[in-house]
């Protein structure tokens, strides 16, 4: 069975076989050269859907006047038909891939590196306005013109369109690992793999690659950013420009996406600022901003402050537990079987973890030295990321007094987010059930 693009197009040269597609230079019967991208025969349903998405996104961008290859023909509407040989044909772009350009010259001047990067930033800024993310920015997906030092993207195979039905499900969980630059949010199971700022970080990587000839690979390698060994003084015209270049990459390669450039316009403005090579007047220090930044830093780094904050949250919530026990104590004041409140229980061999709070209650008989003591202890995990509530029951009778009490073992009844504090409704339910068990035990111990 002939391929659906034949005989209108014939193969001229194989280009690549990455992902789930094959790319070939083809020539039409009228002599027009173009690029054909066809799906592999063993492609997954997701791979077929991605090709449909790539064509759709290229058509949207081209119709908006954005500089991308035009789709000349395709049959990707049949992506659900597993028997269909999916393909599309797009413009053949003049120039060489960016990795080919860098392999020839090693690295570019600051001016040329900026020209290439700024041309790509402008394209991606317009794509983002169309709600389309690239998500696979790397040198072999970029064509560069060695004469004009302008560039454009030629592969949108992993692109994501917010307005496209099904695109969110297709891209939500998949990890994206690239040799050129792997971002933490694209590898984490709970990371946002459809974050526009990830494209902006990739563009920072392209600027760094053009300037140094080195792939950034990861944002932290042994706690060191990609540019830690770069001698910016050898790349810049002045000491000021060298310092500003370093600051640009400090921000662009920040591990936390909230600390990076937040949009294409942010990094475009910063690169243009560095290119001016004229220091701006020193701005007065932003004391309020520094205080807010220091507060955020200490909330995470100052473990003593973290414990105090979580302890306060827990103790505030625990007031409802204390009130409940006191209510039972008042009700049982004249009863032979009573409930008592112990706000500061002295417990031997408590469970491990950073102590946050504790509280106790007991059930006893007035005419016997016989009681059941119920203790709760709240603690932080070793890494301070999780809170735990533990419970233990102690048993005392006429022969076992004071330190001779028997402990029936600690059990963990729940975990909780220490920033929110324990779930009080759950805790009260456990308290009521535990007290009910101990009341029955003490009542039935009298024969």
DSSP 248-314: HHHHHT-SSGGGS--SHHHHHHHHHHHHH--PPPPPPP-HHHHHHHHHHHHHHH-HHHHHHHHHHHH
Residue 138, classed as helix, strand or coil, is: coil
> Is-contact 403 368, C-beta < 8 A?
no
Same structural domain, 167 and 180? yes
pLDDT for 177 equals 80
At 125-171, the pLDDT tens digits run 999 999 999 999 999 999 999 999 999 999 999 999 999 866 655 55
Residue 3 lies in a domain: no
Same structural domain, 213 and 130? yes
Q: What does residue 292 show for φ and ψ, rounded to 5 degrees?
A: -65, -40
pLDDT for 272 equals 96
Same structural domain, 357 and 434? yes
Q: Which of 91, 125, 145 is the last residue of a domain?
A: 91
Judge whether residue 300 has pLDDT over 90.
no
Residue 401 or residue 187, greater confidence:
187
Same structural domain, 257 and 134? yes
Using the Cα atoms of residue 120, residue 122, residue 123 and residue 124 in order, give the sign of their dihedral. positive
Same structural domain, 142 and 261? yes
Q: Which of 33, 66, 91 is the last residue of a domain?
A: 91
Judge whether residue 409 has pLDDT over 60.
yes
Pair of tokens at residue 309: 């904050």
pLDDT for 399 equals 47
DSSP bridge partners of 143:
97, 152
- If one counts the domains in the chain, the total is 3
Mean local confidence (pLDDT), 33-44: 93
Mean local confidence (pLDDT), 292-315: 78
Same structural domain, 83 and 120? no
| CA atoms of 414 and 416, how far apart (whole Å) | 7
> Is-contact 51 86, C-beta < 8 A?
yes
> Is-contact 314 356, C-beta < 8 A?
yes
Same structural domain, 368 and 425? yes
Same structural domain, 19 and 61? yes
pLDDT band at 402 (very low <50, low <70, confident <90, very high): very low
Same structural domain, 369 and 407? yes
Residue 257 CA, chain-centre distance (Å), reads 8
Same structural domain, 244 and 391? no
Q: Which residues contact 310 (CB under 8 A, 6 or more apart)?
A: 356, 380, 384, 387, 418, 419, 421
At 369-378, the pLDDT tens digits run 667 888 888 8
Same structural domain, 80 and 168? no
Mean local confidence (pLDDT), 372-390: 85
pLDDT for 400 equals 45
Pair of tokens at residue 77: 């509407």
pLDDT band at 403 (very low <50, low <70, confident <90, very high): very low
Mean local confidence (pLDDT), 278-307: 74
Residue 168, classed as helix, strand or coil, is: helix
Q: Roughly what angle, to the nearest 10 degrees, separates helices 287-301 and 303-331?
A: 70
Same structural domain, 129 and 259? yes
At 60-107, the pLDDT tens digits run 999 999 999 999 999 999 999 999 999 999 999 999 999 999 999 999
Domain of 26 in residue numbering reads as: 9-91
Q: Which of 91, 120, 145 is the last residue of a domain?
A: 91
pLDDT band at 261 (very low <50, low <70, confident <90, very high): very high
> Is-contact 264 128, C-beta < 8 A?
yes
């Amino acid at each position: 069975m002939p391929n659906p693009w034949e005989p209108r197009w014939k193969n001229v040269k194989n280009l690549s076989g990455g992902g789930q597609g094959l790319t070939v230079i083809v020539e039409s019967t009228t002599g027009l050269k173009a690029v054909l991208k066809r799906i592999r025969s063993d492609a997954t349903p997701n791979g077929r859907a991605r090709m449909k998405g790539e064509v759709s996104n290229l058509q949207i961008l081209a119709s908006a006047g954005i500089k991308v290859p035009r789709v000349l023909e395709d049959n990707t509407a049949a992506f659900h038909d597993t028997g269909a040989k999916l393909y599309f044909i797009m413009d053949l772009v003049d120039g060489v891939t960016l990795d080919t350009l860098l392999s020839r010259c090693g690295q570019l001047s600051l001016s040329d590196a900026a020209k290439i990067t700024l041309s790509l930033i402008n394209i991606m800024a317009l794509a983002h306005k169309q709600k389309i993310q690239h998500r696979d920015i790397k040198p072999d997906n970029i064509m560069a013109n060695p004469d004009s030092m302008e560039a454009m993207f030629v592969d949108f195979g992993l692109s994501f369109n917010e307005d496209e039905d099904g695109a969110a499900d297709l891209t939500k969980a998949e990890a994206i690992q690239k040799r050129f630059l792997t971002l933490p949010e694209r590898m984490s199971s709970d990371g946002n793999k459809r974050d526009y700022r990830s494209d902006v970080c990739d563009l920072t990587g392209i600027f760094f690659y053009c300037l140094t000839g080195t792939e950034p690979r990861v944002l932290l390698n042994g706690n060191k950013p990609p540019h830690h060994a770069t001698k910016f003084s050898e790349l810049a015209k002045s000491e000021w420009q060298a310092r500003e270049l370093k600051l640009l990459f400090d921000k662009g390669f920040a591990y936390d996406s909230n600390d990076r450039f937040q949009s294409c316009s942010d990094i475009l403005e910063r690169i243009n600022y560095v290119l001016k090579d004229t220091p701006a007047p020193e701005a007065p220090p932003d004391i309020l901003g520094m205080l807010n930044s220091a507060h955020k830093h200490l909330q995470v780094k100052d473990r003593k402050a973290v414990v105090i904050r979580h302890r306060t949250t827990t103790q505030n919530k625990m007031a409802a537990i204390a009130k409940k026990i006191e209510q039972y104590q008042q009700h049982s004041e004249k009863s032979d079987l009573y409930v008592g409140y112990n706000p500061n229980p002295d417990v031997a061999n408590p469970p491990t973890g950073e102590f946050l709070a504790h509280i106790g209650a007991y059930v006893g008989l007035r005419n016997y030295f016989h009681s059941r003591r119920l203790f709760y202890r709240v603690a932080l995990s070793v890494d301070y990321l999780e809170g735990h509530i533990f419970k233990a029951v102690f048993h005392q009778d006429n022969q076992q007094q004071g330190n001779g009490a028997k402990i029936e073992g600690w059990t963990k009844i729940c975990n909780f987010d220490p920033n929110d504090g324990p779930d009080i409704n759950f805790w009260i339910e456990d308290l009521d059930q535990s007290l009910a068990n101990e009341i029955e035990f003490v009542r039935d111990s009298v024969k």
